Amino acid sequence: MAGNVHKRPNGTWRARYRDASHREHARHFARKVDAERWLAAIEVSISRGEWLDPADGKVRVGDWAAQWLAGQVQLKPSTFARYELILRKQVLPSWEKVPLSKVTFADVGGWVQELSASHLSAASVRQAHRVSSLLLDHALHDGRLARNPAKGVRLPRVSPAHMTFLTHEQVDQLAEACAPYDTLVRVLAYTGIRWGEAAALRVGRVDLQRRRLSIDEATSEVGGEVIRHTAATLAVAAGANVKVVQRMLGHASAAMTLDVYAGLFADDLDSVAERLDAAAAQSRADSLRTADVLSLAEARTKKALQGTGLRKCMVGPVGLEPTTYGLKVRSSTN
């Protein structure tokens, strides 16, 4: 890179350089020292491979967000719609006309604070920040930003959401109130499948003899929500462990199930303690019972041996003179 600093007729100082494509870039300063510092910083960034074309950073966030969202072909329709809504409601009102290069760490932090002070929940604020960070990451990978200014911004903590669980009686009441769709309500309540999975269910996927539903596909309901906590609650109440609930709900891992339904398994600590106590008591009882049986067996064996020894003395060994031996025994007892 060839750069230089020249004084202009109006008294200002012009610093300029050419990039790898031989395009000229220039800035004007009131003092020569400022122009030299700027040019030196450009030279360092080029030597480190960190130099960015200033024109690339002039793209406005609104235009860049539209380009980024259009390329998210991997997203489910529901996720795509959620991202589009977040951009329209939370991100673009503040950032639409701001050039990418003008987005700073401090500005992003201030924006997060404004969202937190509004009616948005902590979870919604975090989602808005995540979407903005994703589109800025895209700009980073495209060489339009040297770093992502949204990284490291402090976010509000999310409090555990309150979950509503239905009892068996409440499920029956809800099903009756939803007639003629009462069977559907019961299927959702006792299997834990998602609404989209139930909507996509076909006759060929139902095996009544084995009491199985094969969940192979699902429909997406954009803008809708599913709460299936009741199925998990009733399953745990019926004695299902975390692995069973995981398989029933289709979670990727038992850890995911525990993250969502950890509170449902809290009572297991008490039940495990009770079962351990009962098992220990049963073991002690079995040990005492075994000891009693062994003592009784020893007593009977000893008594039997004593009886056998007496008979031997009375009868005596088989010999040539059994009658004489018997008289000796009787005479000794007299």
In a domain, 152, yes or no: no
With 70 as the cut, is the pLDDT of residue 186 above it? yes
In a domain, 153, yes or no: no
How many domains would you assign to the chain? 4
In a domain, 324, yes or no: yes
Phi, psi values for residue 30, rounded to 5°: -75, -30
In a domain, 155, yes or no: no
Domain match, 183 and 225 both: yes
Domain match, 274 and 248 both: no
Domain match, 243 and 293 both: no
- The helix (run of H) or strand (run of E) holding residue 203 is none
Looking up residue 76, the CATH number of its domain turns out to be 1.10.150
In a domain, 163, yes or no: no
Domain match, 65 and 103 both: yes
Last residue of a domain, one of 92, 124, 141: 141
Question: Are 316 and 329 a contacting pair, CB within 8 Å?
Answer: yes
Phi, psi values for residue 276, rounded to 5°: -65, -40
What is the spatial distance between Cα 134 and Cα 332, in angstroms, rounded to a whole number? Answer: 112
Residue 83: the pLDDT is 93
In a domain, 241, yes or no: yes
Residue 220: the pLDDT is 61
With 80 as the cut, is the pLDDT of residue 20 above it? no
In a domain, 198, yes or no: yes
User: Which domain covers residue 107, as residue numbers?
Assistant: 60-141
Residue 36: the pLDDT is 83
In a domain, 304, yes or no: yes
Residue 326: the pLDDT is 45
Mean pLDDT of the chain: 78
pLDDT in tens, 40-82: 877 777 776 666 666 666 889 999 999 999 999 888 888 888 9
Domain match, 210 and 291 both: no
Inter-CA distances, 83 with 70, 137, 189, 304, Å: 11, 15, 30, 89
Last residue of a domain, one of 205, 235, 260: 260
Least confident of 196-200, 258-262, 292-296: 258-262
Q: Looking at 14-118, list the stretches that DSSP marks H as alpha helix, in order from N- to C-terminal side.
A: 32-47, 61-70, 77-86, 92-95, 105-117
